[in-house]
Structure 1
Amino acid sequence: MFWVLFLVVACAAAVTACARLCLAATATAATDFAAPAEATATERGLSLPEAAFLTGGPARVADLTLLSMHHHRMLLLAHTGWATVVDPAGRDDLECSVIRAIGSGGQARTAAVRTATAAAGAVRGVADRLVAAGLAVPDATRTSLATAVRTVRGATLLVLALGAVSLLMPDQEQSVRMHIVAWFALPLVLSLGCLLVARIEVGANTRWASPTGLWLLGTLAPRPVGDHDGADVEFLTAVALHGAHAVADPDLRAALTSTDSGHETSV
């Protein structure tokens, strides 16, 4: 009957993790996003970096900035995974962040530049403006939900592990094994069901955009910025909304998605 202790631990872990997820989801649903009226949101509009953040977070903003600079011949993105500065005069804070990330040598690994740019103050400024406008989910809310989901996943693995150990104990009769399977199925169903609900319901709340931000993305095209022509806007808008997958050129896509390794990345 030693397996009963394992069952108690498994049940406690599953119930605690699921309760934590429910509390986090409830707190998220109760969050008072400072959502502007639809007319106000439409009048405000979205810049390309803002649209990129709402669809993919800081990493998407970094991708957009790198591709925009490459498109305007301010930066060379090689398919080998290196970024080289061509014009060091950044036109805004985001581009200046890229140049600073590359450093005085004028060349750096693209993956390292992407990481540094995504963590830069200019990208945090974009996030803060969107959160203040009620268009983005606060970082604390998103982190709380993600942590709760990971806790439920961990509890599910723990239930499986304890159930397996209980079944593998020596001198177990067949009837006892059937009881073990039946009893451990209860916390397993609970945790798996909670994960399924989280995937369907909670997942929508952990995206970068708030409900108002999602609405604005779906009804309003990002505005042209600076000296972008029509082709630039179409290309960069696709990148902002869909990321590197929207880049048709395989070499350029490889340049953007290259890993920060010591060897060259091939297409």
Structure 2
Amino acid sequence: MLWLLFLLVAWGAAAISCIGLCIVAARTGLLHDASADSARKGPDGPELTLYETAFLAGGPHRVVDLALVTMHLRRRLLLAHTGWATVVDPEGRDEMERAVIRAIGPRGRSPIPPVRRAAAAAETVRALADRLVTAGLAVPGGAGTDIAAAVRAVRGAALLVVAMGAAALLTPGHERGTDGPVVPLLVWFGLPLALTLGCLIIARMEIHPYSCWASPAGQRLLAANEIPAAAKNHGLLAAIAVRGVRAVDDPALRSALGVRRPSS
């Protein structure tokens, strides 16, 4: 009767992982987000701004990277290949640029990594995140990571069910058919497998892709290339907003941002 122990393990893993995924999805409201406010786009208008696009695609640090490159290209900030940022124009054109200037400090010069961290934690970025969450385009901080982890747990449980079923079939007696027929055994293990696979299918239909920042509605905007017209006029800024600093081709700027060019 060793197969009963394997069956209990399979059912326990399937039930715990599926319930966990349902709890996380319900807590973040993602199951309802896919159908609610489907016509809404940006929190402040019919279209996403460039900073909103960057946040949905990569979070607070992506917003800061976008601000740094924007200020550098417009000669308001100098990003040296040594990894230092130097303020050229101390008057920021918007709240995000002013947050970057404050993060650099009164000396007007600072290494870029601490500037990234300080600016990403600024009130300006938090307010941007709150607006996107309120609009249903972003998930609360950390919720997307929880969803991805819960989905991985369900996948692991499905693999464990298969492994437990195989182990039960290989236990002495089942291979000879003396401890009961094989078909009912497969049915017993097929039930938790169906539970986990069904949960994964529903999750993929309702909340995929499992972004750390964008809700399903926000992901649909990104997938549809809903990039503001101002960004389209500058291909590099649009690429950074969507893909991050790895979209930068300038070797000096890549070096300043700490991006290594992948080996060929």
Please report the TM-score for the alignment, with normalisation by the length of structure 1: 0.67
Q: What is the alpha-carbon root mean square deviation over aligned residues?
A: 4.4
CA contact (8 A) 1:61 1:118 kept: yes
Counterpart Cα distance in 2 of 1:126 and 1:40: 11
SS at match of 1:107: strand
CA contact (8 A) 1:50 1:126 kept: yes
SS at match of 1:238: helix
Q: 1:89 to 1:35 in 2, by over 3 A?
A: farther
Mapped pair 1:86 → 2:81: no
- Name the structure 2 match of 1:128: 130
Which segments of 5 or more consecutive residues in structure 1 lack a partner in the other structure? 259-264
- Name the structure 2 match of 1:69: 71
Deviation at 1:58, TM superposition (A): 1.8
Deviation at 1:66, TM superposition (A): 1.8
- Name the structure 2 match of 1:13: 13
One-letter code aligned to 1:202: I
Q: 1:38 to 1:165 in 2, by over 3 A?
A: closer
Aligned runs of 1:194-209 on 2, under 5 Å? Answer: 194-195=199-200, 197-199=202-204, 201-204=206-209, 206=211, 208-209=214-215
- Name the structure 2 match of 1:211: 217
Counterpart Cα distance in 2 of 1:96 and 1:132: 24
Q: 1:55 to 1:2 in 2, by over 3 A?
A: same
Q: 1:113 to 1:158 in 2, by over 3 A?
A: farther
**Aligned partner (choices 107, 111, 115) of residue 108 of structure 1:** 111
**Aligned partner (choices 96, 99, 106) of residue 97 of structure 1:** 99
Counterpart Cα distance in 2 of 1:98 and 1:248: 23
Aligned runs of 1:1-267 on 2, under 5 Å? Answer: 1-22=1-22, 24-25=24-25, 27-31=29-33, 35=37, 43-73=45-75, 74-78=77-81, 82-87=83-88, 89-91=90-92, 92-103=94-105, 106-110=109-113, 112-139=114-141, 142=144, 145-153=147-155, 155-156=157-158, 159=161, 172=172, 175=175, 182=186, 187-188=192-193, 190-192=195-197, 194-195=199-200, 197-199=202-204, 201-204=206-209, 206=211, 208-209=214-215, 211=217, 214-215=220-221, 218=224, 221-222=227-228, 224=230, 233-258=234-259
Deviation at 1:49, TM superposition (A): 0.8
CA contact (8 A) 1:137 1:210 kept: no
CA contact (8 A) 2:87 2:101 kept: no
Counterpart Cα distance in 1 of 2:237 and 2:252: 17
Deviation at 1:176, TM superposition (A): 7.6
Which segments of 5 or more consecutive residues in structure 2 lack a partner in the other structure? none
One-letter code aligned to 2:20: R
One-letter code aligned to 2:48: L
SS at match of 1:175: coil
One-letter code aligned to 1:75: L
SS at match of 1:95: helix
Deviation at 1:64, TM superposition (A): 0.7
State the number of aligned residues: 251
CA offsets 1:169-208 (integer angstroms, 9 cap, x no match): 8xx46728996x9565654564355445534542247451
Of the structure 1 ranges 160-169 and 139-148, higher mean CA displacement relative to structure 2 is found in 160-169
Higher helix share: 1
Q: 1:168 to 1:60 in 2, by over 3 A?
A: farther
SS at match of 2:79: strand
Question: Identity, % of aligned pairs?
Answer: 43
Please report the TM-score for the alignment, with normalisation by the length of structure 2: 0.68
Counterpart Cα distance in 2 of 1:125 and 1:245: 26
